[in-house]
């Protein structure tokens, strides 16, 4: 039993070192009292990306469908983290904006967080698929569960919602860049509508969270 425990701990340390950032240098960020601060910069080494995180912004994806799928999911998470002040908008704009990006994508990647907002939301990918792919571009569809809470009159309100995000990507300068971001409501499980995505999360998909 003792030997098995030691082996399990050793394997866990090796896997943790491979998946999570090895550098903890970070830019100052506002945190809530009692909240832990996660590293916002460093090497990651996911199998299809991201290869690194700088100022809370991931980058470095493989030039294949799995890399595009991972980039698409991370793009959805990145927009939310920018809004929460957990990723630097200037770095995101420089790193993620494709040369052919539409105005909406440029704006959402470059917009500074709203300090007055008390909305705390997390977006969790339920499934994803690449609906179009070439060496130059890709379209990724992600079915997302959003869970959040906001303070208001009478206390805190919690809510969950489902949406479908379509991310169009362009391969430029050795990485996937965002050309456009679109989101539509639903479908919600149990409402009688078929899910837009039935393929499980792509093998090797890496999702990142900056808390």
What are 51's two structure tokens?
A: 């290869």
Q: What angle do CA 84, 20, 200 make, to 5 degrees?
A: 80
What average pLDDT does the structure give for the chain? 77
Spatial distance between the Cα atoms of 76 and 138, rounded to a whole number of angstroms? 15
For 135-155, letters b (16+ CB in 10 Å) and e give: eebbbbbbbbebeeeeeeeee
pLDDT band at 209 (very low <50, low <70, confident <90, very high): low
Catalogue the E-assigned strands of the chain: 42-43, 52-54, 57-59, 120-133, 137-152, 155-172, 175-185
Q: What angle do CA 85, 124, 48 make, to 5 degrees?
A: 90
Span 47-53, mean pLDDT?
Answer: 91
The pLDDT tens digits for 143-174 are 999 887 766 555 566 778 899 999 999 999 99
pTM of the model: 0.74
Spatial distance between the Cα atoms of 175 and 11, rounded to a whole number of angstroms? 31
Half-sphere CA count of 186, side-chain side, radius 13 A: 8
Spatial distance between the Cα atoms of 112 and 159, rounded to a whole number of angstroms? 25
pLDDT band at 136 (very low <50, low <70, confident <90, very high): very high
> Bridge partners of 27?
none
């Amino acid at each position: 039993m003792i030997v098995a425990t030691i082996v399990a701990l050793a394997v866990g340390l090796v896997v943790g070192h491979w998946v999570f950032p090895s550098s903890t240098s970070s830019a100052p960020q506002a945190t809530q009292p009692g909240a832990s601060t996660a590293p916002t910069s460093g090497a990651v080494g996911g199998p299809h990306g991201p290869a690194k995180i700088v100022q809370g912004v991931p980058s470095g994806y493989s030039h294949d469908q799995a890399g595009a799928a991972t980039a698409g999911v991370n793009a959805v998470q990145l927009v939310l983290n920018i809004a929460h002040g957990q990723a630097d908008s200037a770095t995101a704009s420089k790193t993620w904006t494709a040369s052919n990006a539409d105005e909406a994508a440029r704006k959402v990647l470059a917009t500074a967080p709203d300090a007055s907002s008390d909305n705390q939301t997390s977006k969790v990918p339920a499934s994803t698929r690449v609906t179009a792919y070439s060496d130059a571009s890709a379209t990724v569809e992600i079915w997302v569960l959003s869970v959040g809470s906001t303070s208001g009159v009478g206390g805190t309100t919690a809510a969950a919602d489902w949406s479908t995000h379509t991310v169009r990507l362009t391969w430029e300068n050795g990485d996937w860049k965002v050309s456009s971001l679109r989101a539509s409501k639903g479908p919600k499980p149990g409402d009688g509508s078929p899910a837009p995505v039935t393929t499980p999360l792509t093998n090797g998909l890496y999702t990142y969270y900056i808390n």
